[in-house]
Every structure is written in structure tokens, then in C-alpha cells.
């Protein structure tokens, strides 16, 4: 589906947003009080015009002291009757860009298997907001959500490749794909090893856009389904593993976002997606195996369910060989990140203070929060086993997100700067502008920070 604003028109009905305790618009008269309107978050009071029609509406924002609890308050206004609406006034402290984006994100519905996109209320783009930019950002987020929400039966590595090709073609980007036995011939042993047990060949998708300027390389984990391999996940843990390609989905959404907003101009963009299924069969890799990597480092497998860092390692090594100015990895990587920060706040890791500060500050400004965690060098020995260079799953379970990030950093050598995002990619309970299901994390923070990071 496509996000959209209503065209500006005198026929659009006025919509007032009010905090609890604020004065109501004089046009409303005594009707809100008579209707029991208390400006609770999401509470709507429709204003009659005296002729059986609508004169406008008021929507409550709740207690101003709790404003930070609600990211996209305006998305609740999608409960309004089908009509075109225009914000009559902006309460103090609300960012018009975030209001506009929140409205657009509230339009999202995943209807591939049930229902159809329906025309609900529409909002005229608020004055002073770049509507085309907001639509481009929302459309990119819709792509990410659609990809994550699609089950592996319809989005295996081959279908993820098709989606990447479709996006690249729409942007005029170049695509190369290495798959199956060619991965071994071209020295991507970890990607091949993780994906070889599946019915669909593993592959490395390589997209390039732009010819000059600073180079930004984005590596997205594309594990289209994760059984856990021979260290089989319990059924309850496996149920959401269609989302284990959330890093790839977010990377593709970010590419679409950069191109759609014009931020890609003056950059050399590269997106690398190792696309695999971590399946079980007679040739699946085993706990205790020692694997070779493109970088030449050996890796002892202590858990086949820690496969994401393996496929990322080869892709990141390949990316670093070109010495990008900035390399970013996006991955639904560890449960430890969720234990530390929950589903809504993804950690990121970056050794460059200026880059990290820009990312965290930008994330808060655009309602795409991220939180810096440390590449903690004293934990390096935890990923160094006795019989190989690296351990893919250190025992003990402590600092799991940090040790995973340290593992990946070993393969980022050669990049000018490196940042890793350990995202969840899933909204476990519905919230305004974010229905239950797949969700992008970190992309808007990266988009907003790029002018400070890459010039």
C-alpha cells in the first residue's frame, strides 16, 4: 500500500489536538463538555454543524507530562470518520514533521493474505512540512514492514532476492548475486555453510547506487527463517523467525528511504544481504565444527543458532575490502539485546564518538530511538576459544549482545568507521502508528544523522 496525504482543500474538516486541561477551541462551544470529552489520549469528540453533518473534531493527547510515552499520538486519529481533515492548530511542543509522519505510518495495513487496503480518513499535510519527504520515508518503512511480515513460504532467499532486484530496478541501481556453489568458489564459506541445508540456495545480494562521493555500505542480515539449526529452537521461539531477515528488510527500506528523500545524491551506496535459511538436514553444520571464513579467521561453532553473525562476517569482510567510509550492519541478532533494552529500543555499537553521538541524537529527534552500547574490549577473550580464532557463541550467556558485536567488529577491519545495530524488527503489541508485526528500527535515525556523519 502507498501512504498519502489529502490534497489541500477548503472542504477539509478542521481537527484540533489538545492536551488534558488545555482550553478547547471556542468553535466547539459546550458540546465537548456535554459529550464527556476529557482529552484523554486518543479520545475523539466529533463536532456537529447543526445540519446533521460534521463541523470538525477534537482529539485528546492525554496528560502532557506523559507525552514521551507515546511516539505517534496523531495516528490514533485514524479512528475519525472517512473524510479529509486539516490540523487547525498545533499544540506547543509538537513537531509538525513527526505529526505528519505519524499520520502516514498509521495508514499501514498488511493485507497480503486477508482483507484489502481501505480508504480511511486523510490528513492534509501540515503547513511547513515537506510532504513528499514524509511520504518517501513512510513508503520505505512500509516496504520494511511488508518484507518482515511475509512468511518464509513466500519470502525465502530467492524471493528476498526478487524483492531486492525489484527495488534496485526501480531506483536504477545495479545488482549482482552470488548463489549456491558459487559462494564457495568465490570464497564466502560461512554464508554457504549456514544456508546449505535449506531447499533454497544461500546467496549474497549486492546492490550499488551512485558513482561518486563518500561511500556508505549497509550490511543486512537476511536469515529468511531460522530453525536454530541442529541446536533446534523450541516451537515458541521459532514462531517469529520469519522476522530473522529484519536486518535485510531494514537495509532495503533504508536504501529506498535514502533514494526517495534525495539523501542518496552525492553518495556511493552499497547494500549487501547474505540471504539464507538456517535449516536442518543431513548436511547441516554442527555444534563443534570449526569453519573457515572469507577473512581467514577460523570460527568454532558452539551453537548453530548463532548463525546470523556467521553470514554477516563474510559479507562484512567483502564490504570492508572496498574500504567504505562508513559501514553499518543491521541484524536481528541477539535475545540479550531484548533482555537489556526491550523490544522498542535497539542498541547500537560504534567506536567513533562523533558518529555515535550523531546517531543517538538523531534517533531521538525523529522518534526512532537507538541506544549506544560499548564495544567492551575486556570481553574480547570471551570470543576466543582454545581451538580456533573465534567462538560464535560463548558459553555463560552474559553480555551476549556485546560479544556478538565484538565478533562482528573483527570482520569490519578496513572500513573507515563501523556501526552495528542489534534490532528486534517486531512490534509485539499494537501502538499508534505501529501495528503488531514487522517494524523498521534505526533507518530513520541513520537517515537523519548522515548529514553530520558523511559530508
- Cα separation of 252 and 229, whole Å? 26
> Is 233 one of the catalytic residues?
yes
- Cα separation of 139 and 166, whole Å? 15
Handedness of CA 430, 433, 439, 441 (dihedral sign): negative
C-alpha cell at 263: 539523501
Nearest to 417 by CA among 347, 328, 301: 328
- Cα separation of 317 and 180, whole Å? 19
Residue 67, beta-bridge partner list: none
Name 166's Cβ contacts closer than 8 Å, sequence gap at least 6: none
Give burial (CB, 10 Å; 0-12/13-18/19+) of 242: buried
Nearest to 80 by CA among 1, 12, 11, 15: 15
Catalytic residue among 64, 109, 233, 372: 233
> Is 221 one of the catalytic residues?
no
Name 209's Cβ contacts closer than 8 Å, sequence gap at least 6: 168, 171, 172, 173, 174, 255, 259, 264, 268, 269, 270
116 phi, psi to nearest 5 deg: -150, 155
State the alpha helices, DSSP H only, in 7-95: 31-34
Catalytic residue among 196, 295, 309, 444: 309
- Cα separation of 267 and 211, whole Å? 7
Q: Catalytic site residues? A: 233, 309
Amino acid at each position: 500500500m502507498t501512504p498519502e496525504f489529502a490534497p489541500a482543500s477548503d472542504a477539509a474538516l478542521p481537527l484540533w489536538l489538545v492536551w488534558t486541561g488545555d482550553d478547547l477551541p471556542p468553535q466547539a462551544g459546550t458540546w465537548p463538555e456535554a459529550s464527556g470529552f476529557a482529552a484523554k489520549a486518543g479520545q475523539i469528540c466529533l463536532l456537529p454543524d447543526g445540519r446533521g453533518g460534521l463541523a470538525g473534531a477534537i482529539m485528546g493527547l492525554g496528560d502532557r507530562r506523559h507525552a514521551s510515552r507515546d511516539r505517534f499520538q496523531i495516528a490514533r486519529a485514524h479512528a475519525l470518520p472517512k473524510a479529509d481533515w486539516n490540523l487547525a492548530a498545533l499544540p506547543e511542543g509538537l513537531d509538525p514533521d513527526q505529526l505528519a509522519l505519524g499520520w502516514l505510518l498509521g495508514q499501514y495495513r498488511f493485507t497480503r493474505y486477508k482483507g484489502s487496503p481501505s480508504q480511511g480518513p486523510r490528513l492534509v499535510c501540515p503547513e511547513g512540512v515537506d510532504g513528499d519527504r514524509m511520504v518517501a520515508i513512510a513508503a520505505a518503512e512500509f516496504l520494511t514492514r511488508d518484507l518482515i511480515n511475509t512468511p518464509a513460504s513466500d519470502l525465502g532467499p530467492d524471493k528476498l532476492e526478487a524483492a531486492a532486484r525489484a527495488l534496485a530496478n526501480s531506483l536504477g541501481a545495479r545488482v549482482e548475486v552470488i548463489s549456491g556453489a558459487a559462494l564457495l568458489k568465490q570464497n564466502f564459506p560461512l554464508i554457504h555453510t549456514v544456508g546449505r541445508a535449506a531447499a533454497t540456495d544461500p546467496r549474497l545480494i549486492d546492490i550499488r547506487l551512485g558513482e561518486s562521493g563518500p561511500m556508505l555500505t549497509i550490511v543486512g542480515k537476511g536469515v529468511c527463517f531460522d530453525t536454530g539449526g541442529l541446536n533446534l529452537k523450541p516451537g515458541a521461539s521459532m514462531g517469529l523467525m520469519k522476522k530473522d531477515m529484519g536486518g535485510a528488510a531494514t537495509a532495503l527500506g533504508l536504501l529506498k528511504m535514502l533514494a526517495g528523500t534525495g539523501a542518496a545524491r552525492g553518495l556511493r551506496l552499497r547494500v549487501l544481504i547474505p540471504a539464507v535459511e538456517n535449516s536442518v538436514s543431513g548436511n547441516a553444520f554442527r555444534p563443534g565444527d570449526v569453519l573457515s571464513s572469507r577473512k581467514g579467521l577460523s570460527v568454532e561453532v558452539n551453537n548453530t543458532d548463532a548463525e546470523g553473525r556467521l553470514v554477516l562476517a563474510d559479507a562484512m569482510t567483502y564490504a570492508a575490502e572496498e574500504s567504505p567510509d562508513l559501514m553499518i550492519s543491521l541484524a536481528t541478532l541477539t535475545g540479550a539485546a531484548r533482555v537489556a533494552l526491550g523490544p522498542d529500543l535497539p542498541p547500537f555499537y560504534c567506536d567513533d564518538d562523533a558518529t555515535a553521538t550523531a546517531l543517538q541524537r538523531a534517533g531521538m529527534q525523529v522518534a526512532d530511538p537507538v541506544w549506544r552500547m560499548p564495544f567492551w574490549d575486556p570481553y574480547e577473550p570471551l570470543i576466543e576459544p582454545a581451538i580456533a580464532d573465534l567462538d560464535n557463541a560463548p558459553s555463560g550467556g552474559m553480555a551476549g549482545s556485546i560479544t556478538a558485536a565484538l565478533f562482528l567488529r573483527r570482520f569490519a577491519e578496513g572500513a573507515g568507521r563501523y556501526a552495528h545495530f542489534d534490532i528486534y524488527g517486531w512490534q509485539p503489541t499494537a501502538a499508534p502508528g505501529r501495528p503488531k508485526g514487522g517494524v523498521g528500527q534505526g533507518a530513520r535515525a541513520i537517515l537523519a544523522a548522515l548529514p553530520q556523519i558523511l559530508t
